[in-house]
Structure 1
């Protein structure tokens, strides 16, 4: 990775591809119909309209992205072939430097890799919702990092 930069309109397709591949690799609990519904929302509404931070390689190609609202991390997705290379940690370090602490994040309880990632970074669960924000049966863990 060479940099973290703001997203541009030209990134939409690449970021949608990263989202799609990352979700397919880590969210095997999501039904196909829910996946298609969420994919439409992400591709047509979220990615084109959100101000995202993008981790890019030396050639400027997106490798992962993060969305934030204030000190809340709304999204963090890394291309599957780049998972475990420090990109997620670099983006979360950027979040801490940008927004300060505490930071919060919501993570699918059924995605143990993501839960473990955030726990390794010092996040602790402070609440649990039995349904996601659209009322689907995907429990959400609300996590917060308050120190270092």
Structure 2
């Protein structure tokens, strides 16, 4: 890992950097999305930050947002890491925090995002179902996962 890492509750002043991390992450990992899809999802993601989810950010020593996670009702609803920090433990730390501190036990992952699927499986999540469309009715199949059945 490049530097020390802390996880803290996200503040509204961090929503803009979080959205930038989301977009950089999606562009690096969600190759199945078009530019129009990213434009469609961007305001929805921004709105989701203020909608009652428990949000946490991973920061380096300069308080730069390296990644973030959001949990609601025991479900991990978002976990994104800046692509410059992938493979350096940020996602794993965020996921462990979401599970141990925020009570995440379930999640959905895009079926086409094989890297994320493997990441969650390695962490002990198992596939419990599949939906052919995402939550907005778009043709992005979701795999439903739960922690260690």
TM-score by length of 1: 0.92
C-alpha contact 1:71 1:95 (8 A) present in aligned 2: no
Distance 1:12 1:100 in 2: 22
- Alignment pair present for 1:53 and 2:44: no
Q: Which runs of 5+ in 1 are unaligned?
A: none
Partner of 2:86: 83
Residue 41 (structure 1) shift: 1.3
Distance 1:86 1:56 in 2: 12
Q: How does 1:132-143 map to 2 (within 5 A)?
A: 132-143=134-145
C-alpha contact 2:19 2:45 (8 A) present in aligned 1: yes
TM-score by length of 2: 0.91
Determine helix, strand or coil for the equivalent of 1:20: helix
- Alignment pair present for 1:41 and 2:44: yes
Divergent runs of 4+, >4 A? none
| Aligned equivalent of 1:27, options 25, 30, 48 | 30
Residue 35 (structure 1) shift: 1.4
Cα-to-partner distance string for 1:42-87 (whole Å, 9 max, x where unaligned) = 12x1224444110000111110000001321000000000000011
Question: Which one is further off, 84-93 or 73-82?
Answer: 84-93
Cα-to-partner distance string for 1:89-136 (whole Å, 9 max, x where unaligned) = 1111111211447x1110000000000100111111000000001111
| Aligned equivalent of 2:69, options 66, 69, 75 | 66
Partner of 1:121: 123
Distance 1:136 1:40 in 2: 16
- Alignment pair present for 1:9 and 2:12: yes
Q: Which runs of 5+ in 2 are unaligned?
A: none
Report the number of matched residues: 145
